[in-house]
Amino acid sequence: MRDVAVLGVGMTPFGRHAGKSCVELFAEAAMDAIVESNITTQDVEALILANCLGEFTGGQMVMAGMAAGELALRPSTPAIRVENACASGSTAIYTGFLMVASGMKDLVLVGGVERALAMDTPMATRTFAMGSDGRYEFYSGVTFPGVFAMLTRLYSQKYGIPLKKLKEQMAMVAVKNHKNAVPNERAQFRKEITIDTVLKSFMVSDPLQLFDCCPFSDGAAAIVLAPMDIAKKYVDKPVRIGGIGMGSNRALIHQKDFTIMKARQESSKAAYTMAGISPKDVDVVELHDCFTIAEIVATEMLGFFKPGEGAEAVEKGETSMSGSIPVNPSGGLKAKGHPIGATGVAQAFEVVNQLRGKCGERQVKDAKIGLTDTLGGDICAVVNTVFIID
């Protein structure tokens, strides 16, 4: 198996892009990644594009093929669309990694795009809920705010943390991530908030309030992958994918205690093992904070803290920019935004730039090893990737 590296990365601002189609939006991020890689569109040997809701937001199927045409890729270039709920972008990276590592392709463009803000809130809520079990859960009214509200209560009860105190600790996650997003010019929300802002916002799904939840977003991101020996010919600082893992699980209805997410544990374990590292070696992580409680539980499942100790770690500042493990320096899904198909690739964009020391005010000092974590659907699809700069 060949070592796989990232050459260039590209990303649009996240927010509202009402005047552009998904294909046009992705082309912007893709061209930035291609230019930074010092290649041309004619050098691209495959395109893997993540997108979930193109049929609903733009009436567009075969989006990967349309994007390949927009970028004027060669007619011989395979173009594949990937859908895996919120883990779609990272699943695209996983697919591209396999292509390059196997020797099948040398220069692979991987990306993701979504225009969730093209839908109104009821429609967006309905389509997002399709990531739950379509046989039993979806038609029972299950939505993801409801799922993570249940997780909040379960976490509180299991670990003996009074709900009021847990909500304050969760609010600290939101405050941290909004603060991190302020210097991020591509973030959707670049404004600091307070704990009171969170606790006084309206209730979405008790006990989750508005500022516990990530927003709907438009946006695109892209990266170019190549074997390490070829990557060194194009860029000075290729970032190696040291390890990658992917886990899956049954629908939530079968997961009795989802404070313990086995798919995430196994996925991250596979990525750590392949990279030859442990959680304590990670310098920076971009993880899936779709809700504030989700960030807390993710830090535990990734091995940074023991189960039940993630909330206290936030309170102690362990996940802040100056803490033992800086979490979501980009602002995370919570403040950077969450255009579903693009999210996992945007996490890679941030980690690659962190390892290259290109993040300015939000730069994590001496970052050499980074991790991305993306969760999809009913906690039934998880992808973790370890990035290393040698």
Q: Which residues are known catalytic residues?
A: 86, 338
DSSP per position, 318-385: TTSTTSSS-B-TT-HHHHT---HHHHHHHHHHHHHHHHTT--GGGPPTT--EEEEEEEETTTTEEEEE
Q: Please tell me the distance from the alpha carbon of residue 208 to that of residue 58, in angstroms, as a whole number.
A: 31
Structural contact between residues 148 and 379, judged by C-beta atoms closer than 8 angstroms: no
CB 53 within 8 Å of CB 31: no
Beta carbons of 92 and 82 less than 8 angstroms apart: yes
Q: Indicate the SS3 state at residue 221.
A: strand
Does an H or E element contain 109, and which?
strand 108-115
User: Which of these, 217, 222, 249, 227, lies nearest to 379 by C-alpha position?
Assistant: 249
H, E, C per residue of 176-187 = HHHHHHCCCCCC
Angle formed at CA 287 by CA 285 and CA 288, multiple of 5 degrees = 175
Residue 135, strand partner residues: none
Q: For residues 274 and 299, what is the distance between their CA atoms, to the nearest angstrom? A: 20
Distance CA 352, CA 389 (A): 9
